[in-house]
Amino acid sequence: MWKLVVLLCVGFLCVYSSPQRGAKYETPSQSRQLREELAQNLYFVLSARNLESHDANNGVADPYVRVHFGSVPPYSQKQGKDLDKVGDSETIVNEANPQWVKVFKVQYIKGINQKIWVEVRDHDPINPDDVVGEAFIDLDEYMEHGQQLTVPLKGSKSGSIVIQNTAPFRFSLALKNIPALDEFGGLSDPFVKCYFRYGKEGKDFKFFETPTIDNTDSATWENPITFDNFRRGTDQIFHFVVKDADSITADDVIGEAFMEVEPFADKKQQSVLPLSSSSNATLYVKYILE
């Protein structure tokens, strides 16, 4: 609490604010802690529609996005490049309607004019990359629209950016009844490659690979695996490829398994997946509750 202290100065009326006895102050570290408590982690992916071509041979762009983030006060002269860089996406070759897999993360605090600046670039292996267009995304507006928003690109004749949230979750893997595939009479050295795809016939995107566990007929990977890309209603499917590591010849395939992601995320339980190409080997996928 503060009170006014009025002092009569020579020729002036001087007014000072003075803290009342027992008042408490926030230190910079306390203010920072308060901001962190108010902050909400947002995870999102980006896609684009109808990108203008900047290819010298009139081909379709090879686009990627560069993302910056920060607060932009009203009437500020800050430009997108003045904000903190979050990162770049992967490049998608020859695509006017790219859907990038890269998941970005920012900390959102309501009402402080936070912006995401997205710059779409056309990758060129020889010349400097061309800027296709850019967009400022207001995070308060994004949240008001249910964490899905389409924003037109500036500096381009056509095109827009779509931002959509993801809902990361974690799981663990275990493997039982592993066949012995070692050429010298030993057991297998299993590891698992984890992919996801959109639809049964979609393209695989690798998001994790477990360490190899040597010489075993059962394996448990204790460290949780995080899947950042989960989005409801997108027909996502996990594709697990289990292999036997070999230091001399090519790794042998023990088997593979597929699993629908959304039902697994909803039930939050363990799924038991028999491996193809193997009569008894079984993969256990356990949802980890937070």
Q: pTM for the full model? A: 0.83
* Contact assessment for residue 190 and residue 68, using Cβ atoms and an 8 Å cutoff: no
pLDDT at 52 over 70: yes
pLDDT digits (tens, 9 = 90+) for 25-51: 445 554 556 566 789 999 999 999 999
pLDDT at 283 (0 to 100): 97
What rounded mean pLDDT belongs to the chain?
A: 88
Q: Between residues 15 and 86, which one has the greater pLDDT?
A: 86
Q: What is the pLDDT of residues 142-182, one digit of tens each?
A: 999 999 999 999 999 999 999 999 999 999 999 999 998 87
The percentage of residues in the chain with a pLDDT greater than 70, rounded to a whole number, is 86
pLDDT tens digit sequence for 9-27: 334 334 444 444 554 444 5
Q: Is the pLDDT of residue 249 over 60?
A: yes
Domains of the chain: 39-165 (2.60.40.150), 169-288 (2.60.40.150)
Condensed to tens digits (0 to 9), the pLDDT of residues 115-137 reads: 999 999 999 888 899 999 999 99
